[in-house]
Structure 1
Amino acid sequence: MMKESPRLKDGRIDLSLPRWDQSTFLGRVRHFASITDMRTAFTSNRTLLSAKELLNQYKLKQEPTGTTDEQIWRAKKLYESAFHPDSGELQNVIGRMSFQVPGGMILTAGMLQFYKTNTSVIFWQWLNQSFNALVNYTNRNAASTVTNKQIAFAYVSATTCALVTALGFKEIMGKRGNPIMKRFAPFIAVCAANFVNIPLSRQAELSDGVLLFSSDKQQISESRLAAVKGIALVAISRVTMAAPGMLIMPVIMNHLEKKASFMKYQRYHLLFQTFMIGCFLVFMVPVACGMFPQNNTISLKALEKYEPEKYKKAVEMCQRNGLPLPSHLYFNKGL
């Protein structure tokens, strides 16, 4: 049986921790499967606000008599699926991580189905990058100093990169007479755009660094190196999330479209691809999010080598707080 997070001394649920042990891959997958459950994206605002209120009551030990642990876990799931973890504000539906499956399946299917004309490529890549920009903005760090101008620049840059990559790859493969390879143009474009969009969206972290904490959550220093690591891990996760559907479906469709029985029902091809992509994403969204620990680490040796001024600050802060010098410090890698 998968281990749940430890309880408080009085046996009550510790709401500051995820339900499942985050030191294991399966624990992280189960955690993200819960908060990215697409069914929660269609939960009414009234129900979501009631869940938030129940959690506030539970923190004060004022919850209604007879409230069960499962009701608290359910409320916590709804809260984490819809409210910003820093500000506590209700997020817009389309930008929530719980909307990744329905949003992603429609956009991915559209990119894979309509790849033959340049107009279609431009429209679907633009729509996909607009969706990604909204997700990045909705889930941004509340303390981030990134301006609207910088966010707009990241959006335009990622969209341009995606379009140039998709159209260029499609043109090159067309000249080489390889039709199946043209189907992979959307995936190549998505990969390229992710490695442009995410760093630009989080450029403040690259210039100022992210906060580093000790194991007991005391702020110790900042690090640009940790920001680079966090952004790289998120980019890898995003690409991994999209990869199975965008790599396997072109092969499946290329095979099926050679069969006369399948081609009789062309009007249903988009519906078929959308359903199949949805099946991939239901599995891949929590797997990709859980690939790397949310509270990631950076070694003090790396800090000493590449950011000596931040290492010095960390040493001084530990001495000031009477803490032993740790081998690693923790930071939030983002999503």
Structure 2
Amino acid sequence: MDPNLLQWKRQEQSFLRRLRIWLNLLDPSLLLSSDAEILKAHTLLGSGQKLDEKDNAAVFLSLSSVHADSGAALPLVFRPPATLPISGPLVVATLLPHNSIKSAVFWQFLLQSYNAGFNHANRNSSAEQLQSKKMSLKQLLLIGGTVSYTTCAGALPQIFINRLAIRSPPLLTFFRSILPIPLSAALAFFNVSTVRSEETETGIQVFDYNGKPVGISKAAGEKAVRETALSRAMLFGTAAAVPNLLVLLLQRTRLFKRNSLLVAPFRHISIALVFSLMIPVSFSFFPQLGTIKRENLEEELQTEVIGSHLFYHRGL
């Protein structure tokens, strides 16, 4: 088992404990570390030495920057600390009202492309590592298809507004404030599910309590992808829901009726704030080192399992 996974195993598995850890792992200053510093921190975790508080910086650097299957440093832009600086402005841009289809498609393309890249970079690649596989043409086509589909689907509200020449205030409110809420959650779920679909087809590596590899399990792969997709749907769905509903409520107040120019900056700030608060919540919702019950595994693995459950790397 990779040192990062062993470190997650040593941590308490409560949601609040995971949340505290992720608040440290999402520190953007971790992006300033070099690959040499990252690999040194990862080596320290795997050295077997007893770590104390002075080693926390190395622990956070390794957990936030090293892939737990390959042991290599993640691409800079797809590391968890880069999520808010890069995707935050894109989320704000996609949720704002647009005047043209081109602008809606443009911002959706940037956001969905980044999401697909992040999901692929942070996937569980244990089966690929065992088989020494590189990215296949099928994976490239799958990622490209996912980006194309989610981009078009994400721009549907603006497409409807323009093509149907909608001018009715209630309909504009529906397409610009209500429809994006379930649409954002559904597209985030779909993005993770399709980009990481190979994990459900080939399976992922599972470990016993001592960290010893037991085999490859499709059931664990399905559970890992489903949990990650749900957490991502919660992230983007909440980021769309809370600001839009707040704006709808506040537009009825006397202050916003008299000062309509306040609506735009309030929408910008609330989207950015909610999204930034929801990132650590989303990442913490399920454990990084997930567990699966013995009876839920494939029959051929159940005979090799000692204990009631196995562990697996969920990915991010």
Bucket of the pairwise TM-score, normalised by the shorter protein: 0.7 to 0.9
Q: For 1:74-101, what per-residue CA distance to the aligned partner results, in whole angstroms no more than 9, with x for missing partners?
A: 1221232223333343333221111111
Change (3 A) 1:58 1:199: closer
Change (3 A) 1:92 1:327: closer
Tell me what 2:190 maps to: 196
Q: Structure 1: 5+ residue runs without aligned partners?
A: 1-13, 304-309, 319-324
Root-mean-square deviation (CA, aligned residues, Å) is: 3.4
Q: In the alignment, which residue of structure 1 is the partner of 2:12?
A: 22
1:206 to 194, 200, 205: 200
Q: CA distance change for structure 1 residues 155 and 263 in 2, over 3 Å: closer, same or farther?
A: farther
Counterpart of 1:327 in structure 2 is 308
Return the alpha-carbon distance in structure 2 between the equivalents of residues 264 and 199 of structure 1: 40
Deviating more after overlay: 256-265 vs 180-189: 256-265
Assess if the C-alpha contact under 8 Å between 1:154 and 1:200 holds in 2: yes
Cα distance change on mapping 1:291 and 1:148 into 2, 3 Å? same
> Can you list the C-alpha shifts for 1:188-217, whole angstroms capped at 9, x where unaligned?
443333333222222322122122221112
- Report percent identity of matched pairs: 22
C-alpha distance after superposition, 1:127-174 (max 9, x if no partner): 111111221232233443473423332333323332443344452895
Q: If each structure's helix is expressed as a fraction of its own residues, which one has the higher value? A: 2
Instruction: From 22, 37, 40, give the equivalent of 1:53.
Output: 40
**8 Å Cα contact 2:7-2:45 kept in structure 1:** no
Please report how far the alpha carbon of residue 111 of structure 1 lies from its aligned counterpart in structure 2 after TM superposition: 0.7
User: What SS does the aligned partner of 2:77 have?
Assistant: coil
CA distance in structure 2 between the partners assigned to 1:60 and 1:209 by the alignment: 29
Cα distance in structure 2, aligned partners of 1:15 and 1:113: 39
AA of the residue aligned to 2:314: K
d(CA) in 1 for partners of 2:307, 2:120: 34
Match of 2:243 in 1: 249
Deviation at 1:15, TM superposition (A): 9.5
Q: CA deviation at 1:233?
A: 0.7
Residue 94 of structure 2 corresponds to residue 106 of structure 1: no
Change (3 A) 1:193 1:292: same
Equivalent residues in 2 for 1:84-123, closer than 5 Å: 84-123=67-106
- Which residue, out of 180, 192, 215, partners 2:209? 215
Alignment check: 8 A CA contact 1:146 1:204 kept: no
The answer (yes or no) to whether the contact 2:294–2:308 under 8 Å persists in 1 is yes
**1:191 and 1:155, CA in 2 relative to 1: closer, same or farther beyond 3 A?**
farther
Q: Which runs of 5+ in 2 are unaligned?
A: none
Which residue among 12, 32, 36 is the counterpart of 2:22?
32
Report the TM-score, using the length of structure 1 for normalisation.
0.76
Task: Say whether residues 1:278 and 2:272 are aligned partners.
Answer: yes
Larger Rg over CA atoms: 1
Tell me the number of residue pairs that the alignment of Structure 1 and Structure 2 aligns: 300
**Equivalent position of 2:173 in the other structure:** 180
Contact in 2 for aligned 1:213/1:330 (Cα 8 Å): yes
SS at match of 1:296: strand
Taking structure 2 as the reference length, what is the TM-score of the superposition?
0.80
Which range moved further: 117-126 or 195-204? Answer: 195-204
The alpha carbon displacement at 1:278 in A equals 3.1
Distance 1:108 1:55, change over 3 A: closer
- 1:40–1:282 Cα change, 3 Å: farther
Tell me how far apart the structure 1 counterparts of residues 183 and 57 of structure 2 sit (CA, whole Å).
38
Q: Please give the alpha-carbon distance, in whole angstroms, between the structure 2 residues aligned to 1:332 and 1:19.
A: 11
Counterpart CA distance in 1 for 2:113 and 2:5 is 34
For residue 34 of structure 1, report the CA deviation from its aligned partner.
1.6
Cα deviation, residue 117, structure 1 = 2.4
Q: Note the C-alpha offset of 1:55.
A: 6.0
C-alpha distance in structure 1 between counterparts of 2:296 and 2:53, whole Å: 43
Contact 1:95 1:135 in 2 (8 A): yes
Cross-structure match for 1:155: 143
